Amino acid sequence: MAFTAGELQNIANAALDFYIKGPAMALTIQERPLYDRLRRKQKTFSGGKGLIRQNVKGEYSTTLQGYTHTDTVGYVNPANIKQVNFPWFEIHAGINLTLTELKHDGISVVDTNGEDTTEHSERELHVISGLLEDKLDDLAEGWARDFDRMLHQDGTQDAKEVPGLLSIVADNPATGVLAGIDRATTPWWRNRALVNLTASAGPDNSILASATGQTLTKTLRSEVRQLRRYGGKPNFIICGSGFLDALELEVHEKGTYTQQGFVNKGKNDIGMAVISMFGVGDFIYDPGLDDAGREMFCYVLDDRRIQLRPMDGEDMKQHTPSRPHDQYVIYRAMTWTGGLTASQLNCHGVYEAKLS
């Protein structure tokens, strides 16, 4: 069978005539703070028929009652536990390559699945970027990049993908059902939000940054107090580039640059991609928010109460499928089974800023 245009292009890119010897240079890899944090804090679950279940409670029935002498007193039988049910999903990414491509790369496949290979003698004289290594690297980076994209969305883009951060920390938390609980009738099952929900009519609920009035910084400090009200410990803040621009507008007004950096009596510090605010925390730039069209947004999260939950034994599971009997093609794949869950919502907040 003749090479496809893509195969020929890939072989050409690895030839000595075109590129400097060494791995193909990665030019579009960016930081993934949300993906990295959730992966680091993830907790496995054992399995189940389509759902990850956990109990939550936000209402209490027991009350105080004054009495004297022989007054009649009352008793209650509390029954306020609710069960939330988050669905789990199956995610796949895979690559294939032909044995012909590998021969052009100076590699022969020893067994049918391509688990063992041998290099031809003097291979180093004509190989620049190894095709096999490049394809495996493409699998790893493509996986991380797309998983990060998925985590920044709400699940409506694909019914078979994991609903991400936006499904849990909603712009309008007083509507919709999350994990089986109606947020419209359950105030304690809502995140906090200050965003422009009514751009066409009514008041603008986003925060207008003001260099002199310090509206954004004052609002954020006030919001952190509310996020801590019910035991929340917000400790992870991600922002789009536009939100950081708005925040810098106010921070710059109250500090000065010196040879030692940004100085404001130890209360604020500004870096290339991170702003630290006393009493609030570190504001980390997350390029994934820009890619999702949410460059003016900020998410303040308690990473104890939002978790990535892979199924036990199914976290980035590697597969080496047997090649078809009538094709000399090698396949490699990774799968992941799990979901994104939350055990508390009123400790998370989403905020939209606008430049004055």
Only one residue has tokens 């699998």, namely 139
Q: What is the mean pLDDT of residues 39-56?
A: 88
Cα–Cα distance, 168 to 340 (Å, whole number): 9
Beta bridge partners of 26: none
Predicted pLDDT of residue 15: 46
Write the CA distances from 131 to 11, 29, 101, integer angstroms: 8, 19, 8
pTM above 0.85, yes or no: no
Predicted pLDDT of residue 254: 64
Only one residue has tokens 């509390």, namely 78
> 63-85, pLDDT tens digit by residue?
999 999 999 999 999 999 999 99
Which helix (H) or strand (E) segment is 34 a member of? helix 33-41
> 110-147, pLDDT tens digit by residue?
655 545 555 555 544 444 346 767 777 888 889 999 99
Question: Residue 61 phi/psi, 5° resolution?
Answer: -100, -25
Predicted pLDDT of residue 261: 46
Write the CA distances from 103 to 100, 139, 203, 270, integer angstroms: 5, 21, 65, 52
Only one residue has tokens 């998983």, namely 147
Would you list the domain boundaries of the chain? 33-54+85-355
Cα–Cα distance, 183 to 83 (Å, whole number): 14
Question: Residue 256 phi/psi, 5° resolution?
Answer: -135, 155
> 80-107, pLDDT tens digit by residue?
999 999 999 999 999 888 888 877 777 6
Q: Which residues touch 32 (CB under 8 Å, ≥6 apart)?
A: 144, 145, 148, 286, 287, 288
The first and second tokens of residue 282, run together, are: 């570190």
Beta bridge partners of 16: none
Cα–Cα distance, 139 to 145 (Å, whole number): 10
> 170-206, pLDDT tens digit by residue?
999 999 999 999 999 999 999 999 997 443 334 467 7
Question: Residue 252 phi/psi, 5° resolution?
Answer: -60, -35
Percent of the chain beyond pLDDT 70? 76
Q: What is the mean pLDDT of residues 21-37?
A: 73
Q: How far apart are the first and last CA of the chain?
A: 62
CB 88 within 8 A of CB 337: yes
The first and second tokens of residue 251, run together, are: 């921070």
The upper half-sphere exposure of residue 285, i.e. CA atoms within 13 Å in the direction of its Cβ, equals 18
Predicted pLDDT of residue 323: 80
pLDDT at 2 over 50: no
Q: What is the DSSP letter of 229?
A: T
What does R_g of the chain's alpha carbons equal in angstroms?
27
Predicted pLDDT of residue 196: 72
Cα–Cα distance, 321 to 315 (Å, whole number): 18
pLDDT at 276 over 50: yes
Predicted pLDDT of residue 199: 37
The upper half-sphere exposure of residue 309, i.e. CA atoms within 13 Å in the direction of its Cβ, equals 24
Indicate the average pLDDT of the chain. 82
Predicted pLDDT of residue 6: 58
